[in-house]
Structure 1
Amino acid sequence: MAKPRLEGKVAIITGAASGIGEAAAKLFAENGAFVVIADIQDELGHQVVASIGPEKSSYFHCNVRDERQVEETVAYAIQKYGTLDIMFSNAAITGPIGSILEMDMDGFDDTIATNFRGPASTIKHAARAMVEKQVRGSIICTGSVSSTLGGSGPPAYTASKHAVLGLVRSAADDLGQYGIRVNCVSPFAVATRMSTGMYNVDASIVEASASSFSQLKGIILKPRHVAEAALFLASDESAYVTGHNLAVDGGVSVLSTTRSKSLIVRFEPPIKRTMSRPRLEGKVALVTGAASGIGEEAVRLFAENGAFVVVADVQDELGHQVISSIGSEKVSYRHCDVRDEKQVEETVAYTLDKYGSLDVLFSNAGIIGPLTGILELDLQGFDNTMATNVRGVAATIKHAARAMVARSIRGSIICTTSVAAALGGAGPHAYTTSKHALIGLVRAACSELGAYGIRVNCVSPFGTATPLSCRAYNLEPSEVEANILALSNLKGIVLKARHIAEAAVFLASDESAYISGHNLAIDGGFTVVNHSFSAS
């Protein structure tokens, strides 16, 4: 049986007596954590403890608007369990509803005090405890689609959730030196006690309304989906993720709302898994660029988690070595140059013929391309980079999605991008151009394929010492890692291919069932902090 993902860790969850917080408390405990349920709803809080069991959880009254209560809650957790590894700052209110022209300023103040000042206080005291005890902890805040979009919530709520995102990024910059990660989960509308109470409607009304706006069809967002995202960020699987806003919104925050499709669908509840069940049990995955580096690590981790995997690459000898090291009963090799659409189509057909299905595509094949400046740009090298990194990915998405649609598979498509997809100067010109293009391709594919329940996402790593990068720069792995470590915001850890593979497993699994169109940055906060400034 796999080791519980939070085994022995201690977590505080605010707003944990109901809704997302309650779902997270139960899921954290299922995965081996000791959990402090912090809330002002005492009766409900004690009910949550009773449902989990007092050996794994305890309740502490905490109003996050009162800093002293927050400080006492942290002290309670440490006194009871000896440490603090995870703070999930989830407590929030919706605040006054209505036009900004008639806004209740007392209600505005209360919303800011709960939704923004409260998380600031929880981050402050949790981080103090972690620093003092030298814990490389994880701090998670609940954001919202309203963290990035106007018009998706009341004015005070939207302002507070934008503020939370800014706070998370700023805290990630400050706390990275201690190895503490700070991230957000930002859900679309969820039928919780808070949202149904706000509009005085049944949960079914909230869910029907949210579904009508959602791009990802055939699924309704539940608190459990948001809790799964928080579990990923709390675990060591996200060890190099910080300053990130993990949107659990079915692509709402990255797609145009002016385009809609109608589709009659069967709604499916979130799948509840036991700890012993492999996360990709019985799924069939195709991984390109899988003979070395990130792709190889993903193949190994996918297989460890129960998947059947086709290793697709042009490096035949290395590809067969990967098969031999894992075992041919779980993996097989197929030569595939993604620049040739026919080879891509044949690789998808081979996967279907051998395993009978295709649930996951990890389109990872890529090249760095010419390293010259723009003034001396080799356009043949530029064309080859675009043919591999963009056109090749487009072909894999096309043929994998065709197979999924034909078989009514609610599949997951994942593409490898880079910090160069978000920043100039983080890679050569052709490479940077191709990775920016890839983000656009993923979002466009997400928009179209959501109608079929197919999710399309990215993983975007910082520099990693793979055979590809070492060859490109003629450096040893230790030299690449030393250079990256010097630039990194998150200290005390070196990014490895395994970290990226962990993110791919999360996006491939049902844990990310309501995540689509998302760019999951595995960069230690590099893309969200300003490197022109340094803290004194």
Structure 2
Amino acid sequence: MNSDLLSGRIVLITGASSGIGAAAAHVFAREGATVVLTARREERLAALTAELREKGARAAYVVGDVSVARDAARAVEFAVAEYGRLDSAFNNAGIGGDRTPLHLMSDDVYDTVMDTNVRGVFNCLRYEITAMLEQSGGGTIVNNSSVGGLVSIPAAAPYIASKHAVIGFTRAAADEYAKQGIRVNAVAPGTTRTEITADWFGRNPGLEDLANSLTPQGRTAAPEEIAEAAAWLLSDRCPFLTGTVLPVDGGFVNR
């Protein structure tokens, strides 16, 4: 029996060009998955795909923006055309927002955050679930929310709202498709070293120290730590688990 968590699975990863998405590509491939990567930045996707292939992994990429329905559909269609099916998906793509006070925030900040973080998950779920239903073999999906989807954190209000919405989509989809064998869960990362947090920390000196002081483990996570949790949720090791939100946060939400 193969001990790899994702042995033989075809897994789509969105937002795969950096951060948690890129870490997931490495972790999932190590766990036996064939990974299909999608994001907006082709140069980064090409480099990551080449790196994975050099290590013996099966990997491919398709450039796209998940906030555009046609791009989300094309990523799923590519996975099915290239490998015959789609077993799992990690809907990781997301962006942060400026920490402008809510009453001073412009429409464009709201629109950009909600389009990527909420519409993007909606777009991906529609096409991923369609592919999984057509192949009649069920499937597993993990959406990337945030502790900001569970509690308020120092961040832009639309970001908090968007990550709460990701949890809503997770629970709704899990309930709707459970009997068809599709499990849908979410991870809720705490402070994690990504482009979003690097931007926040860079513009707000002392913010990382504050975040760490509010985290029982007292540190910022590596993106691989979130990816490991997502891999487990995508695997068959937790077959009775659906509609759950797993905080991967060093104990932050316990405070």
TM-score band by shorter chain is over 0.9
SS in structure 2 at match of 1:38: strand
After TM superposition, give the deviation of residue 201 of structure 1 in Å: 5.7
* 1:149-191 Cα deviation digits (max 9, x unpaired): 1234210100000111111101111111211000110011112
Counterpart position of 1:28? 28
Counterpart position of 1:216? 217
* 1:269-321 Cα deviation digits (max 9, x unpaired): xxxxxxxxxxxxxxxxxxxxxxxxxxxxxxxxxxxxxxxxxxxxxxxxxxxxx
After TM superposition, give the deviation of residue 2 of structure 1 in Å: 4.9
Consecutive unaligned residues in structure 2, runs of 5 or more: none
After TM superposition, give the deviation of residue 239 of structure 1 in Å: 1.2
Structure 2 CA distance, aligned partners of 1:96 and 1:68? Answer: 28
When normalised by structure 1's length, the TM-score is 0.46
Counterpart position of 2:86? 84
- Which residues of 2 match residues 384-463 of structure 1 at below 5 A? none
Counterpart position of 1:49? 49
* 1:396-453 Cα deviation digits (max 9, x unpaired): xxxxxxxxxxxxxxxxxxxxxxxxxxxxxxxxxxxxxxxxxxxxxxxxxxxxxxxxxx
Cα separation, partners in 2 of 1:221 and 1:197, compared to 1, 3 Å: same
Counterpart position of 1:125? 127
Cα separation, partners in 2 of 1:41 and 1:197, compared to 1, 3 Å: farther
RMSD: 1.9
Counterpart position of 1:232? 232
After TM superposition, give the deviation of residue 251 of structure 1 in Å: 1.8
Q: Is the 2:143–2:186 contact (alpha carbons within 8 Å) kept by the matching residues of 1?
A: yes
* 1:19-51 Cα deviation digits (max 9, x unpaired): 000111100000110001100011111111111
Structure 2 CA distance, aligned partners of 1:109 and 1:190? Answer: 24
After TM superposition, give the deviation of residue 199 of structure 1 in Å: 4.3
SS in structure 2 at match of 1:200: helix
Letter in 1 for 2:71: Q
Counterpart position of 1:184? 186
Structure 2 CA distance, aligned partners of 1:67 and 1:212? Answer: 40
Consecutive unaligned residues in structure 1, runs of 5 or more: 256-536
> Are 2:86 and 1:73 aligned?
no
Counterpart position of 2:165? 163
Q: Which has the higher contact order (CA 8 A, sep 6+)?
A: 2
Counterpart position of 2:105? 103
When normalised by structure 2's length, the TM-score is 0.94
Letter in 2 for 1:88: F
Instruction: Number of aligned residue pairs: give it.
Output: 253
Q: Is the 2:193–2:220 contact (alpha carbons within 8 Å) kept by the matching residues of 1?
A: no
Q: Is the 1:20–1:227 contact (alpha carbons within 8 Å) kept by the matching residues of 2?
A: yes
SS in structure 1 at match of 2:237: helix
Look at both structures and tell me which one has the larger radius of gyration over its CA atoms. 1
Counterpart position of 1:9? 9
Letter in 2 for 1:233: L
Q: Is the 1:152–1:158 contact (alpha carbons within 8 Å) kept by the matching residues of 2?
A: no
Counterpart position of 1:396? none
